[in-house]
């Protein structure tokens, strides 16, 4: 029997519709545990080390909004981190599905 890991993440809030936050998004990532991705993770960690980012858990929101550890980084530096994460995800043998809710469609008036 296969063992599958499921990671669920959300973006947005249940607040009222706002132009800067029109959606509530839920993404599910599925990974078959029989497929070893430890080398891929090590490679990403090394590439982030080259950028001076050690033991980093990447969150794209803070990269985009220039928050937390990214507040002193330039746009090209933040773009490098973002691109490393995108390249990492694209080459993995994983499956994902995103669902989005347009908040203006669910407003109670």
- The per-residue pLDDT for range 11-30, each reduced to its tens digit, is 877 677 777 778 888 999 99
- Contacts with 63 (C-beta within 8 Å, 6 or more apart), sequence order: 70, 78, 81, 82
Q: What sign has the CA pseudo-torsion 12, 17, 19, 23?
A: positive
What range defines the domain where residue 47 resides?
A: 38-92
Contact at 8 Å (CB) between 59 and 81? no
| pLDDT value of residue 59 | 84
Please provide the average confidence, as pLDDT, over all residues in the chain. 87
Q: Is residue 56 located within the same domain as residue 83?
A: yes
> What's the pTM?
0.73
Let me know whether 29 and 68 are in one domain.
no
81 and 100 in a single domain? The answer is no
Residues 42 and 87 in one domain: yes
Same domain, 16 and 46: no
Distance between CA atoms of 79 and 73, rounded to whole angstroms?
10
Q: Which residues contact 41 (CB under 8 A, 6 or more apart)?
A: none
Q: Are both 7 and 28 inside the same structural domain?
A: yes
Number of domains composing the chain: 2
pLDDT mean over 81-107: 88
- Residue 95 phi/psi, 5-degree rounding, is -125, 145
| 26 shares a domain with 45 | no
What pLDDT, on the 0 to 100 scale, is given for residue 78?
93
């Amino acid at each position: 029997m296969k063992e599958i890991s499921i990671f669920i993440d959300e973006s947005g809030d249940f607040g009222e519709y706002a132009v800067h936050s029109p959606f509530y998004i839920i993404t599910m990532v599925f990974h078959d545990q029989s497929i070893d991705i430890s080398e891929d993770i090590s490679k990403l960690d090394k590439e982030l080390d080259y950028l001076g980012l050690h033991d980093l858990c990447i969150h794209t929101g803070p990269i985009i909004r220039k928050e937390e550890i990214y507040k002193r980084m330039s746009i090209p530096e933040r773009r490098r981190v973002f691109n490393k994460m995108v390249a990492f995800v694209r080459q993995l043998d994983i499956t994902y599905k995103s669902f989005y809710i347009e908040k203006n469609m669910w407003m109670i008036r």
